């Protein structure tokens, strides 16, 4: 179903019988939920025109991931979006340029968009972010066992 692209992310591969966009979307959501906090790479185009379009994963701990990203990166802008939150990561040397856009949806899906180089950089930092999110989960539960993410 999926194949390993690197040590950090897997490439989405859709069964041939899934032709409609709705069927492919349902398949993607199922795979994400069956493999929480596993980073996937999504591509657009085919053949020679195939290019990485985003990274995506599912989590039940949105607040922990949101906090981990904001603590790990130094130049962030946070704002609300429909169905979730958005974190914009910027270069310290050029604060007006958006390097990565991270959409944290209430459904548990986290979508990372940016240039190929920015996506590769995020992918390399994913293990560190995951460890930071684990610490945030532990801290949240230890400080207030009733204060868990709404998706739990």
d(CA 32, CA 36) in angstroms, rounded, equals 6
Query: Measuring CA to CA, which residue among 84, 40, 88, 38 is closest to residue 63?
Result: 84
pLDDT at 143: 60
2 pLDDT higher than 70 = no
Q: pLDDT tens digits, residue range 83-94?
A: 999 999 988 777
Instruction: Take residue 87 and report the two structure tokens written for it.
Output: 């974190």
Do 58 and 33 meet the contact criterion of CB atoms below 8 Å apart?
A: yes
Overall size of the chain counted in residues = 152
Measured CA to CA in angstroms, residue 89 lies from 73, 92, 99, 119, 143 at distances of 7, 9, 6, 12, 29
Mean pLDDT of 10-34: 89
Non-local (6+) Cβ contacts of 113 within 8 A are 53, 54, 100, 101, 102, 103, 119
Residue 82: Cβ-neighbour burial (10 angstroms; 0-12, 13-18, 19+): exposed
Q: pLDDT tens digits, residue range 23-43?
A: 988 999 999 999 999 999 988
pLDDT at 4: 39
In the DSSP assignment, the letter for residue 80 is E
pTM for this entry: 0.82
**Could you give the percent of the chain with pLDDT greater than 90?**
56
d(CA 122, CA 129) in angstroms, rounded, equals 9
Q: How many CB atoms lie within 10 A of CB 42?
A: 16
Q: pLDDT tens digits, residue range 124-150?
A: 999 999 999 999 998 876 665 554 454
122 pLDDT higher than 90 = yes
Query: What's the longest Cα–Cα distance across the chain?
Result: 51
pLDDT at 141: 67
6 pLDDT higher than 60 = no
**Could you give the percent of the chain with pLDDT greater than 70?**
87
Domain ranges of the chain: 3-143
């Amino acid at each position: 179903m999926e194949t390993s692209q690197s040590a950090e992310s897997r490439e989405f591969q859709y069964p041939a019988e899934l032709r409609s966009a709705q069927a492919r979307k349902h398949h993607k959501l199922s795979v994400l939920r069956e493999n929480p906090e596993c980073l996937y790479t999504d591509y657009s185009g085919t053949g020679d025109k195939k290019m990485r379009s985003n990274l995506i994963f599912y989590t039940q701990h949105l607040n922990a991931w949101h906090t981990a990203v904001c603590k790990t990166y130094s130049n962030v802008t946070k704002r609300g979006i429909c169905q979730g939150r958005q974190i914009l990561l910027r270069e310290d040397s050029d604060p007006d340029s958006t390097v990565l856009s991270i959409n944290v949806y209430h459904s548990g899906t986290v979508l990372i968009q940016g240039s190929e180089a920015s996506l590769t950089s995020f992918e390399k930092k994913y293990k560190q972010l995951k460890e930071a999110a684990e610490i945030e989960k532990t801290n949240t539960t230890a400080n207030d066992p009733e204060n868990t993410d709404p998706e739990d």
